[in-house]
Amino acid sequence: MAIDISKFSRPDMHNDIAAVLVNEATIAARVHELGAAISREYAGKDLLLISVLKGSVVFMADLVRAITVPHEIDFMATSSYGSGTSSTGVVRILKDLSISIEGRNVVVVEDIIDSGHTLHYLLRLLRDRNPATLRVMTLLDKPDRREVDIPVDWVGFSIPNEFVVGYGLDYNEIYRNLPYIGVLSPSVYSAE
């Protein structure tokens, strides 16, 4: 199968951004606050952070360096079963954890919560593995899009229902490396 390389040859990714929603300095300041909150909460306690790939990897990398207490990290990768799944909430596990979470203090780290189906499924699955505590941190929250109610312990930014990319978030697997959260210009996705 031929690989379509056109998306790799965009002249300047910044030109595809209609507006910067959260700039680099604002993200850094908030990540610092979130790291401090985790450090206070888990000082002297067991702590395991679980990053949900791929979107959360940039946030996770900055977050762990803003946390001042010892902790472990692990990763999971999920994908929904096609477009119909947001109604059923069925999520596929592409990569599972490499360690047991039984008896552990777990914090799930997400880049964004949209409908809530991914986390709803994931939290149920993780709860069945008997962690001591299970909490959720997300960098971005789109409350207007929520279809299923889930407990969220820490939110970086509540944002409006815009198509955002950057700082880990993608469109068609690109734009994850933009250092800010930007609103993708509709001309990009309407042209494809």
Q: Report the Cα–Cα distance between both ends of the chain, in Å, rounded.
A: 19
Strand residue runs (E) in 63-178: 72-80, 91-95, 105-113, 133-141, 154-158, 164-165
CA separation for the pair 109, 60 (Å, rounded): 7
Q: Does residue 54 bind ligand PRP (CB under 6 A)?
A: yes
Among 101, 110, 136, 181, binds ligand PRP (CB under 6 A): 110
State the CB neighbour count (10 A cutoff) for residue 172. 12
CA separation for the pair 139, 62 (Å, rounded): 11
CB of 111 to ligand PRP, least distance (A): 5
Q: Does residue 141 bind ligand PRP (CB under 6 A)?
A: no
In a 10 Å sphere around its CB, with 0-12 CB exposed, 13-18 middle and 19+ buried, how is residue 15 labelled? Answer: exposed
Q: Does residue 16 bind ligand PRP (CB under 6 A)?
A: no
The residue annotated as part of the active site, out of 114, 141, 153, 170, is: 114
Selected range binding ligand PRP among 42-50, 53-61, 63-71, 156-164, rule: CB under 6 A? 53-61
Q: Does residue 113 bind ligand PRP (CB under 6 A)?
A: yes
Among 34, 38, 49, 55, binds ligand PRP (CB under 6 A): 55
CB of 150 to ligand PRP, least distance (A): 8
Supply 2's token pair: 């031929």
Dihedral of CA atoms 16, 20, 21, 25 in degrees, nearest 10, equals 140
Are the beta carbons of 24 and 192 closer than 8 angstroms?
Answer: no
Q: Does residue 136 bind ligand PRP (CB under 6 A)?
A: no
Among 34, 101, 117, 188, binds ligand PRP (CB under 6 A): 117
Concerning whether 114 is annotated as a catalytic residue, the answer is yes
x/- string (CB under 6 A) for ligand PRP, residues 143-172? ---------------------------x--
x/- string (CB under 6 A) for ligand PRP, residues 68-107? ------------------x---------------------
CA separation for the pair 184, 138 (Å, rounded): 20
CA separation for the pair 75, 54 (Å, rounded): 9
Contact positions vs ligand PRP (CB under 6 A): 52-56, 86, 110-118, 170
- The set of catalytic residues is 114
